[in-house]
Structure formats: structure tokens, C-alpha cells
Structure 1
Amino acid sequence: MWLPNSARTTVNAEARIQGSTALVGVLGDPVRHSLSPVMHNAALEAMGLDWAYLALPAPTAELGTVIQALEAMGCRGLNVTIPHKQAVAPLCSELSPLAERLGAVNTLVPRQGGGWLGTNTDVEGFCAPLREVSWSSKRALVLGCGGSARAVVAGLVELGFAEIVLAGRRPEALEAFQADCRSWAPQLSTLSWDSGIAATLAQADLLVNTTPVGMASATDPAAAQACPLSDSELAALSAEAWVYDLIYTPRPTALLQRATAKGCRSLDGLRMLVEQGAASLRLWSGRSEVPVEVMHQAALRQL
């Protein structure tokens, strides 16, 4: 029997969800925009797992109740996104050494004895597209000092960067960031953005944007045209540098468009999203082989 595409999609989804289907998902607030369900459900189908991945809105005040209820329901695993990555850490029964060091959790794994293991796969996701190059003795400049910057700095340390400079506009936040990371990132220094970053840009082998500047916004059409660097700052950037923008909507961002025009190698955050999701799926399923390319193509189609 012929069915229109929309009907076929509905029938296929209903066929996959049964009484035995287990739950995995992502907690956030808001979370309806997340690409995680489409890429994870594509992977689950390819792996033959009787699981369904859902976006699960969780208001901050109810976060503890939500994760307790999901444990009681036999949930097989959870991702955690904005604004809960720090708040969920004390609600875990156990933290991985990496999550404890970062103070941030993006993945919950059910423990055999009850409760949740909190860990962080953002670092693995960030590093994945950079591993094809040796970064020993190289310099990195990171824009922004929010939650994502911690995972980025941890990834840069793991990749062997000799010098990491963190640029931000709030001196007190920069000071607190460096104090928190000093024991495991001795190569990290901070720089006030307002004092000028052109000289540091000129020496950077890798530039990473962790700020939201340039991200598409449903309420502000001009937001996607913004660039975190001014024209004079961009002029200082070496054409030999790599530029990594954690934003993936739009593709490419204004920063990556301008960097590519200079001849720079550019990366956006979609690969990081896919790779951190794949790392989570390995932890939940116990399988080392996860269809990363299936996840990537599903996310691209959704975008």
C-alpha cells in the first residue's frame, strides 16, 4: 500500500516503539530545539536497539525530581544540556574524575547499585576533529569563559597544547576560571579582551569560539550575522591558523565565513555535538561500535 512520506514516517515510528521499548533522552530547559533526538534515534535504529531517545524539558527547580523519576522508570541513560550541566553534578551518586575536575556533567549513566554516574563527553567530542594533527608546542586562543570553555580547555590540555590563552570581558570570571583550572592546566593564561587580543591572535595556531555571538536566533534575525571578532582583530589572525566555532547554526557562522576567506582551516560545532553524543551512546549501550556517520547525516538533514 502506498503512503505519503509523512504517513510512512508515523507508521515507522509507531512500529519501533513497543511495550518493551526503553527510554534514553536529553534534559534541558529549553530543549525542544535539540538535534540530539534525531541523531540518536537514527543510531539506535541502525544498531537494532529497542530504545527511544526523547527531548525531556526539565525546569531547574524540578531537576532532582526528574532524574529520580527517570531512574525509577528504568531510563537507560541521559544527556544533560543548558542550563543543568553544573546543577546536575551534586545530584549524581558518583562522578567520573573528568566531570569532577570540570564541575560539569553532560552524561548520566545508571549505576548498577542505584543512582547515576555523572560524566562528561564534551571533551571527547571537542577533540575528535582535531586529532588528525599534532598540536604539541602549539598555541591556542579561546574566546569566552563560560561553561563550554572548561571542556575546551580540558581538550586542549589533552591534545598537548603548550600554551592556552583564555580571552574574556569579565576580569573576575577570568580569575575564577584560572584558579579552578590551575592544578590541571598549568599552560593556561588569561587575557582581558578589552585590553586587545590582536597580538595573541597573530600567534595562535588554533582559535576557538565558545561565545554565543553569531548563533542564529528565532527572535533576532540579525544575530546570525554577528561575529565575535572585529575587522581589525580578524586582520591579525594568521591564515595558517585553524578556527573552531562551537556554534553550528547557521552553517557556516560569520566567523567561519571570514576565516575561510582568509585561508584558515575551519570547523564548526556539529561534529562536536555528534561525537559527544556517540561517546554517550557507547557508555549507555556498552558497545564500542556506534554509527557516527549515521548520526552526522541525520543531524545534517534536520538542519
Structure 2
Amino acid sequence: MITSKTQMVGLLGHPVHHSQSPAMHNAAFAALKLPYAYAAFNVAPEQLPEAVAGVRALGMRGVNVTIPHKVAIVPLLDEIDPLAKRIGAVNTVVNDNGRLIGYNTDGKGYVRSLVEETGINLANQVVTMIGAGGAARAVACTLAEHAVKQIRIVNRSREKAQLLAELLNPLVPTVSVDPQQAGEAIADATLLINTTSIGMYPHVDEMPVAEEWLHPGLIVSDLIYNPLETKLLKTAQAIGAKTHSGVGMFINQGALAFELWTGETAPTELMRLTVLKQLLQGGK
């Protein structure tokens, strides 16, 4: 029940109708009997400054930030956590008595789930990443900190890919790849990561790469969690490649955000079960 003591948190994104964050967080708040409520807010890019002002004006405890706002929100905040600053993107905001502090829990959540679910040895990986946006930056920075062999970034905007490559190169050899050479960049890679929204509900028949570029020696990882199994993952599985969905990253990054807002240990398994139940029931 929402009362005058309830602290509001939420999600800023565009679109947000597909998000499982409200169900996941509200189930966690209820289980721990915490006075919080979570709602999703559809915020067009040009409305982001007003939305951030609204977080302050309404005294919200904080928000998650998703596509397409993770980079754009950075200059609108009062303080950026060192990791989020290095990544250059924010996915979680904490309102500390009117001071908005930006964090990034994406990379940590991703790597934790990837290792747990695939048993991958990160040090052996040649990584080809599709996309160079906020989520890509978080994942790539965290993989670089874990000293993967090489990172290749394929993005429609070569400039964005090049900027990310320059950021990572001091830690690990990184190159930007023209989309026309994407097939070659995947041919001898061991880990393929889709960080774009291509294949996300409702566009479930789309793939970010050509089917013939996939091979059995790949671990194919998709940050998308709705649908639970994207066309990319289904196709990869059919040719014998190991796959990794975005659910684990979503749960782990959400748990870290939950803890930043509440100071309580997140009920991670409950959050996972809530999301899986919603997805399997077709909740969008």
C-alpha cells in the first residue's frame, strides 16, 4: 500500500512498456516489507532534463536509467561515482537529500551473470561487441578490467566505436570495426555480445548480425531479456553455440540498484523468479 511515507523509485526510459523492473522491485520491496514503490516512466529524449528535475522536485529516492538516456543523463546529475565516470554512463541514480548521484551497476551485473551461467574464463576471450552505447560502455569497461584478450566494437557510428576503443586501449587491445567487416570480426571471436536493442520485444524477428556469421566456437550473449530467448540466441543455439541471455545481468544490476537505494541486501532469487514468471506468462 502506498502511503505518505512511501518512497518512490522508478525507471526513466523510452520506451518502457516492456520493462520487468516494476514487478521485480515491487516484489522485493514487499518481501522485505520496505516502504518503497517502483514505477516506469516513458521519457522522450527531449524531456529528460524535465524528468530529472521531477526526481528532485518529487523527492524520489532514485531511479534506474535505460535506453536511450544512460549517457545523456550524466551532465544532469550532481555527482558521478568513479566507475560510472570511467564508463561515461549511468544506469542508477540515488537521491541523497536532494543531491543526485549517478552509478553504473550494468557491467558488474553482466560479468557476474556471464561467469556464473557459462563458466567462461574471461582471460581467454576474444570479444566482438555489437553496439557502443551506454550498456556497451559498461560491459566493455568491466571486461577490460578483467583483462580479456581483445575487444572489437562494431557500431553504426564508427566515431562512437572509436571513442570507446580509445577509452579501453590502455587496459586491453581494442579496435573499432566497420559494420561491413562485422562478419570477419566474428569469424575468429570466442564471445559475441549484442548490446543493442535489436531483437527486443516487440521486434522479436530481428537480429543484430547475419545468421551465417555465427559459428559453434562462440559464446553468444544478448543483453536483451524480453523476450527471454531472442532470435539471435535461438539461431546460435541451433548451430551448437553456447548462449547467455540478458536475464542474469538484469537481475544482478537491479539487485545492486536496490541495495544502493535501500541499504538492504536484495532478495536476488525472488527477483529472478518474479521476472522469469512474468516473462514465461508473456508479461510485457
Segments of structure 2 that go 5 or more residues without pairing to the other structure are 280-284
Q: 1:106 aligns with which of 76, 88, 91?
A: 91
Q: What residue in structure 2 maps to residue 229 of structure 1?
A: 209
Q: How does 1:234-249 map to 2 (within 5 A)?
A: 234=214, 237=215, 239-249=216-226
Query: SS state of the match for residue 172, structure 2?
Result: coil
1:81-116 CA-partner distances (Å, limit 9, x unpaired)? 22221221111111011111122111111225x311
Q: Does 1:269 align with 2:255?
A: no
The letter for the 2-side match of 1:269 is: G
Q: Give me the identity figure in percent.
A: 38
**What is the aligned counterpart of 1:119 among 95, 99, 103?**
103
Aligned positions, number = 276
C-alpha distance in 2, partners of 1:94/1:85?
Answer: 15
Answer with 72-81 or 92-101: which moved more.
Answer: 72-81
C-alpha distance in 1, partners of 2:53/2:212?
51
Contact 2:18-2:201 at 8 Å conserved across structures: no
**Following the alignment from structure 1 to structure 2, what is the Cα–Cα distance between the partners of residues 168 and 88?**
21
**In structure 1, which of residues 131, 136, 142 is the aligned counterpart of residue 123 of structure 2?**
136
Calculate the TM-score normalised by the size of structure 1. Answer: 0.83
The correspondence for 1:155, drawn from 131, 134, 142, is: 142
Q: How does 1:74-85 map to 2 (within 5 A)?
A: 74-85=59-70
Match of 2:32 among 30, 47, 65: 47
SS class of match (2:154)? strand
How do 1:1-303 and structure 2 match up within 5 A?
A: 16-112=1-97, 114-132=98-116, 133=119, 134-183=121-170, 185-198=171-184, 200-217=185-202, 223-234=203-214, 237=215, 239-287=216-264, 289-303=265-279
Distance 1:168 1:69 in 2: 33
Query: Deviations for 1:129-158, whole angstroms, at most 9, x for unmatched residues?
Result: 123433113211112223321112112113
In 2: Cα distance, 1:258 partner to 1:283 partner: 37
**Match in the other structure for 2:282:** none
Give, in angstroms, the shift of residue 258 of structure 1: 1.8
User: Cα gap change, 1:142/1:109 in structure 2, threshold over 3 Å: closer, same or farther?
Assistant: same
| Residues in 1 aligned to 2:241 and 2:277: alpha-carbon distance in whole angstroms | 26
Consecutive unaligned residues of structure 1, counting only runs of 5 or more, are 1-15, 218-222
State TM-score, norm by structure 2: 0.88
Q: Select the structure of larger CA radius of gyration.
A: 1
CA shift in 2, pair 1:240/1:77, >3 Å: same
Match of 1:125, SS state, is helix
CA RMSD of aligned residues (A): 2.1
Contact kept in structure 2, 1:127 and 1:159, CA below 8 Å: no
What CA deviation, in whole Å up to 9, does each residue of 1:30-51 have, x standing for no partner?
Answer: 3233211010000111111011
Call closer, same or farther: CA 1:58–1:224 in 2, change over 3 Å: closer
Output the CA distance in 1 between the equivalents of 2:43 and 2:232.
Answer: 32
Please give the alpha-carbon distance, in whole angstroms, between the structure 1 residues aligned to 2:75 and 2:210.
40
Relative distance call for 1:215 and 1:44 in structure 2 (3 A) is same
